[in-house]
Amino acid sequence: MTEEDHFIEVLGLVESDNSPRRWGDSGRACGRFQDHPSYYCTWGPIESDFGGQEKTWDWAFEFASRAFFRAARAHSPLKTLGEIGMARHLHGQIRWDGVDEFYAQRWRTCELRVTARA
């Protein structure tokens, strides 16, 4: 499993227990990764990314999370997966300030689950 795949697996567990039909944040976030419209507009696919084929919303949301991960990793190669996940959770952009302790603990728990399965 690549580092990016590991990030995606943990992120799906943390955000929705891997439920692509989940709604959260009082209806402002949806999908396996709990995307908000502004996040999706920034990181989501453009027309050419679809390759002329219809895709699922889950595919599009995963695309956005992978794009965010790649940009964060390129910007700050020494950040942990948890730090990248926290930036995504708190800001939806590459910013390293702030911590949500509940989210950090949930990330650690889910990361252990994914590592144990690998």
- How far is Cα of residue 8 from the mean position of the Cα atoms in its chain? 6
User: What is the residue extent of each domain of the chain?
Assistant: 3-117
* Mean pLDDT (whole number) for 79-97: 97
- DSSP lists the bridge partners of residue 30 as 23, 35
Q: Is the pLDDT of residue 118 over 80?
A: no
pLDDT tens track for 27-54: 999 999 999 999 999 999 999 999 999 9
**Residue 64 CA: distances (Å) to CA of 58, 69, 72, 108, 117:** 10, 9, 12, 22, 24
pLDDT confidence band for 5 (50 / 70 / 90): very high
Q: How high is the pLDDT of residue 30?
A: 97
CATH no. for 3-117:
1.10.530
